[in-house]
Amino acid sequence: MGLLEGRSAVVTGAAQGIGYEIARVLGEAGASVVIGDINEDAAGQAAQRLGKLDIAATSRRCDVTDEDEVAALVAHCADRFGPVGVMVNNAGITRDATLRKMAVADFRAVIDVHLTGAWNGTRHAARAMREHGHGGSIVNISSISGKVGNFGQTNYSAAKAGLIGLTKASAKELARAGVRVNAVQPGLIRTAMTEAMPREAWDAKMTEIPMARAGEPAEVAQAVLFLASDMASYITGAVLEVTGGRYM
């Protein structure tokens, strides 16, 4: 029996990258998985890849900034696999620029996707979890930049820091309903996006990591699995850093 056997999980922004890896790891632990992503075609392809791994998976287009679309995503989970038991708010974007050059629209877009999106996901998943009466686990994907701030990312750093406040406040509100809310803060994770950065920038970041290596997407996903499972049954409002010791 897997850690999530018999449960249904929704993962936003899961068509690729860390989100897809989270969906895969939760699925291999026994969960039926719903992939929500604004890129409908990519989401469908991701669900097909999971199906080839013998994971029960489906997908639905979802703009996490649209409350109705998030509500529909959670309802789609109930229709296909049963009430949501695990909600992972992972969807995110970047619009990097220095404070002086950043457009207000780019600041608002990043805040809206990361923070409003996670609020929508938390709100609708929690409502469903309360209604079916068996509790559940919500995991928000923050970032170490929400702890220390990144140059050229005032929008992203603010959004990821805001996710911590959202996590802790909602954890207090939902605890009596048996719904746990936690956050994961990844550091430098090896993805197509990070590997495309200039070599000097990569090397500079590596010097900040006591474990002297980048993390792998599966290592973030395994942290999410732990928080989603009954192994973390007495953990709520916590922030788990997956950083190799960076900025400890």
Residues 144, 241: contact at Cβ < 8 Å? yes
Q: Determine contact, residues 58/35, Cβ cutoff 8 Å.
A: yes
Q: Please say if 156 is a catalytic residue.
A: yes
Query: How many CB atoms neighbour CB 194 within 10 A?
Result: 15
Q: Under DSSP, is residue 140 helix (H, G, I), strand (E, B) or coil?
A: strand
- Find the helix or strand (DSSP H, E) in which 160 lies: helix 154-174
Q: How far apart are the first and last CA of the chain?
A: 35
Collapsing DSSP to helix, strand or coil, 16 comes out as: coil
Q: How far apart are CA 47 and CA 181, in angstroms?
A: 25
Q: Which among 20, 156, 234, 247 is annotated as catalytic?
A: 156
Distance CA 193, CA 245 (A): 21
Is residue 195 classed exposed, middle or buried when 0-12, 13-18 and 19+ CB atoms within 10 A define those classes? exposed
| CB contact at 8 A, 159 and 153 | no
What are 52's two structure tokens?
A: 């080839």
Angle between helices 104-111 and 154-174 (to 10 degrees): 30
CA distance 244 to 212: 8
Active site residues: 156
